[in-house]
């Protein structure tokens, strides 16, 4: 009985045109993004003889737009029609890539950063539009399962993406890699044409300014107990994950006494866990509430961090990485589902634009401090502090978990 219910749920999921289309679009986008990330990384290393400043500028081009454009992009996504917004973002990303391809023949190689910067900016407009489409067209009982499939594709490319990007660059060079990026973005735009037509906009009231709509977005989150608590959970998780992000190599060299190259096996174990965890969550999506899913993911990550910090055995550290990866999709799926379930369609972009930078900002703070802290504290203590931060995130969630049902945004938000 349980297996047939699971199969019927997955069948119902793939019969939904919006979910099918968005998942296929994400597949093409992930090909383009990972070929972009690794081919540009290898190209810049080759051109600069591994200059750390030049290499770090790739990350700046990739992540800076999240801070600078996430909330602005989310606000415009609430104003614009989601289907049209996503298609135009993919088309403009492809155009920018082909401009870079042409420019490389005549100008400095440094123009390559432009390709990453433009597509990263445009994604801040496209991603919240995709969330809006989920809210508009996907039945509430399929949202969590749809998000599980969405995250499984991301997890799959954590394993396949680096291999694909490296293969394309090493065998065909930077020009071919850029062409692959452009074609992938065009394919994504073409697939999105299959989405249902955007609904006609409702009769508008008095015209409002962009700044006014941004203020409304902050008021909306602050007036929603669930979204405010979720923001606190976001910040705690960001601080925890950012603190451990740069320290993996020290686990390998200091705690395990192995060459730094063995870090790749820990990353592979984490990625394999994410793929399996995403698949498992698809099957459990209808049975577990998103807040319980999120708390379980945070608890499992805390256990994984404690084990990694204390372990001096390679197999145990490897198992802890796999265990953490297994539950990482639970965190991402739980968060996205809770946002969708507790946000009105007209505020999806702004809520997404507030909460995502909150997570990234917290992560960058502890990533920046991790090196300094490592010179003053044992790596064991740092991993235990990360686990403690995740426990704080669970405590922040407790009021939501005690609630018998997570209501709609209309019952949570006071205008």
Mean pLDDT taken over the chain: 80
Q: What is the pLDDT of residue 374?
A: 83
This prediction has a pTM of 0.72
Confidence of residue 404 (pLDDT cuts 50, 70, 90): very low
C-beta separation of 177 from 33 below 8 A: no
Confidence of residue 49 (pLDDT cuts 50, 70, 90): confident
C-beta separation of 75 from 209 below 8 A: no
- Indicate the CATH number of 9-192 among 1.10.3470.10, 1.20.1250.20, 2.130.10.10, 1.10.3720.10: 1.20.1250.20
Same fold, 9-192 and 211-402: yes
Range with lowest mean pLDDT among 7-11, 49-53, 59-63, 216-220 = 7-11
CATH 1.20.1250.20 fits 211-402, yes or no: yes
- Rounded Cα distance between 150 and 139, Å, is 16
Instruction: Kindly write down the DSSP assignment for every residue of 66-79, as one continuous string.
Output: HHHHHHHHHHHHHH
Q: What is the pLDDT of residue 389?
A: 94
Q: What is the pLDDT of residue 386?
A: 93
Which sequence spans correspond to the domains of the chain? 9-192, 211-402
Q: What is the pLDDT of residue 52?
A: 63
Q: pLDDT tens, 160-174?
A: 887 888 888 888 888
Q: Is the pLDDT of residue 67 over 80?
A: no
Owner of token pair 């919006």? 18
Task: Supply 279's token pair.
Answer: 């698949």
Q: What is the pLDDT of residue 5?
A: 47
C-beta separation of 23 from 150 below 8 A: yes
Confidence of residue 42 (pLDDT cuts 50, 70, 90): confident
- Rounded Cα distance between 51 and 161, Å, is 24
Cβ burial of 246 (10 Å; 0-12, 13-18, 19+) is middle
Q: Is the pLDDT of residue 407 over 60?
A: no
């Amino acid at each position: 009985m349980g297996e047939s219910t699971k199969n019927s749920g997955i069948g119902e999921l793939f019969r939904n045109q919006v979910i099918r289309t968005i998942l296929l679009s994400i597949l093409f986008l992930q090909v383009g993004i990972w070929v972009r990330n690794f081919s540009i990384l290898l190209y810049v290393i080759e051109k600069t003889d591994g200059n750390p400043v030049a290499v770090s500028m790739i990350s700046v081009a990739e992540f800076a737009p999240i801070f600078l454009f996430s909330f602005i992009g989310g606000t415009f996504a609430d104003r614009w029609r989601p289907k049209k917004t996503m298609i135009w973002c993919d088309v403009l990303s492809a155009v920018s890539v082909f401009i870079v391809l042409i420019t490389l023949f005549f100008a400095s190689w440094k123009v390559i950063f432009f390709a990453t910067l433009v597509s990263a900016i445009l994604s801040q407009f496209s991603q919240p539009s995709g969330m809006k489409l989920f809210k508009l067209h996907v039945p509430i009982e399929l949202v969590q399962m749809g998000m599980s499939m969405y995250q499984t594709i991301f997890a799959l490319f954590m394993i396949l993406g680096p291999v694909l990007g490296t293969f394309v660059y090493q065998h065909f060079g930077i020009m071919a890699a850029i062409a692959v990026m452009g074609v992938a973005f065009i394919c994504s735009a073409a697939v999105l044409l299959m989405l249902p037509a955007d609904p006609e906009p409702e009769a508008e009231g008095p015209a409002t300014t962009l700044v006014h709509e941004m203020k409304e977005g902050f008021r909306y989150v602050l007036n929603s107990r669930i979204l405010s608590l979720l923001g606190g959970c976001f910040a705690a998780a960001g601080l925890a994950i950012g603190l451990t992000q740069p320290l993996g190599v020290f686990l390998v060299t200091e705690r395990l006494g192995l060459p730094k190259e063995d870090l790749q096996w820990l990353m592979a174990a984490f990625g394999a866990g994410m793929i399996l965890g995403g698949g498992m969550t698809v099957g459990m999506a209808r049975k577990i509430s998103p807040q319980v899913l999120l708390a379980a993911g945070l608890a499992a990550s805390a256990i994984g961090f404690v084990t990694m910090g204390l372990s001096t055995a390679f197999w145990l550290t490897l198992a802890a990485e796999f265990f953490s990866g297994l539950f990482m999709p639970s965190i991402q799926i739980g968060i996205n589902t809770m946002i969708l379930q507790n946000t009105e369609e007209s505020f999806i972009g702004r809520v997404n634009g507030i909460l995502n930078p909150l997570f990234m900002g917290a992560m960058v703070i502890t990533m920046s401090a991790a090196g300094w802290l490592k010179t003053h504290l044992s790596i064991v203590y740092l991993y235990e502090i990360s686990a403690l931060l995740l426990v704080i995130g669970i405590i922040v969630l407790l009021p939501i978990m005690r609630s018998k049902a997570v209501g709609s945004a209309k019952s949570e938000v006071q205008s």
